[in-house]
Amino acid sequence: MGAILGEGRFRYEPVPGWAKLPPGMRLGEVAGIAIDRRDRVFVFNRGPDPMVVLDRDGNFLSSWGRDLFRRAHGVHIGPDDAIYCTDEGSHSVCKCTLDGRLLMRIGVPDRPARAMSCKPFNRCTHTALAPNGDIYVTDGYGNAAVHKFAPDGRWLRTWGSPGSDPGQFNLPHNIHCDADGLVYVADRENHRIQVFDGEGRHVAQWHDLHRPSALFMTPGPCPLCYVGEIGPYLAVNRDTPNLGPRISILSADGRRVGRLEGIDGPGTGPAQFTSPHGIAVDSLGDLYVGEVTASAWPSLFPGRPVPEDLNALKKFRRVGETR
């Protein structure tokens, strides 16, 4: 057994070389990861094959999306067994079958809303499904809002505005719904997760996080929340310890119950992180992390060339109980 990340019940072993791609295929930055009922791993990435599908042992199954996406950002699979792909580059969300057939698109490709208008979309970031099938979309890089849509794509409501007060956002980067219909938003540059009811009323906020970027919640009545925290990018605190990048594990009420720190700081090694941008957990509790290494590298390591091997997709095998 090699390096172990985490502590107590939440310990994980890196699995180097897990993904086995066909000759000539390379992943770009891995913006999002989703896992279906059969533990197939859907890797939404910024390479020439935007969606790559692997089994839980890393064997290649299929790929799709070459003519569908501009710049991958967020992905999740709903209870309806459809996959929702948030395309920051085209300012739209695609609902697809698991084999890549387009079922619905929300937003008009390449026609962004005016920046900070709180109208959909300007560089949208992620989606989540409510128990009744309503669709929530975080609209983050060019906006500061959450939009709610009916299952057929009809707009229902929007909430949020730029700022740091409760209900305001500074780059809403990821979103999730729990079994009770509560909506969790990774409000990245405000260093918090905000919790809302399904109509956008503010319920709570979780602090003690550093730039929460990725967000995944396990199913069921007492979920665990896995949060990918990215590191500092400013020169004055770039080398400050204990700020990430890292993975934190929170209880259903926002208490930290576990944390995975990279070995020897940021990096592309199997036991290191650069910018955890997508997280998913399979049925056995194994953890999958997607990273946007090329985007983060100049801020983490100014003046050093971006490595050719981004190592943007990592698997961590559970070695401690997680429930």
| Average pLDDT in the chain | 95
| pLDDT at residue 277, as a whole number | 98
Going by C-alpha positions, the residue among 248, 307, 301 that lies closest to residue 279 is: 248
pLDDT surpassing 60 at residue 323: no
Superfamily of domain 5-318: TolB, C-terminal domain (2.120.10.30)
Q: Please state the rounded mean pLDDT for residues 269-277.
A: 96
Evaluated on CA atoms 114, 118, 124, 129, the torsion sign reads negative
pLDDT tens sequence across 236-253: 999 899 999 999 999 999
Q: What is the pLDDT of residue 1?
A: 57
Query: Is the pLDDT assigned to residue 262 strictly greater than 70?
Result: yes
323 vs 317, residue with greater confidence: 317
Confidence check: pLDDT of 322 > 70: no
Residue 265 identity (one-letter amino acid): G
> What residue type is assigned to position 131 of the chain?
P
**Is residue 135 predicted with pLDDT exceeding 50?**
yes
CA angle 140, 145, 150 (to 5 degrees): 110
